[in-house]
Amino acid sequence: MPVHPGAGWQRIYGGGMAEVVLFHHAQGLTAGIVAFADALRRAGHTVHTPDLFDGRTFDSIEAGMAFATELGFPGEILDRGARAVADLPAELVYAGFSLGVLPAQMLAQTRPGARGALLCYSCVPVTEFGAAWPAGVPVQVHGMDADPIFVGEGDIDAARDLVAEAKDGELFLYPGDQHYFADSSLPTYDPEATALLIRRTLDLLG
Residues near 148 by beta carbon (within 8 Å), at least 6 away in sequence: 177, 179
The C-alpha R_g of the chain, in whole angstroms, comes to 15
Please report the pLDDT score of residue 3 as a whole number: 33
Q: Looking at the whole model, is its pTM more than 0.75?
A: yes
| pLDDT tens-place string over residues 3-24 | 333 333 333 334 579 999 999 9
What CATH class is the domain 8-205? alpha beta
Q: How far apart are CA 159 and CA 170, in angstroms?
A: 9
| pLDDT tens-place string over residues 11-57 | 333 457 999 999 999 999 999 999 999 999 999 999 999 999 999 99
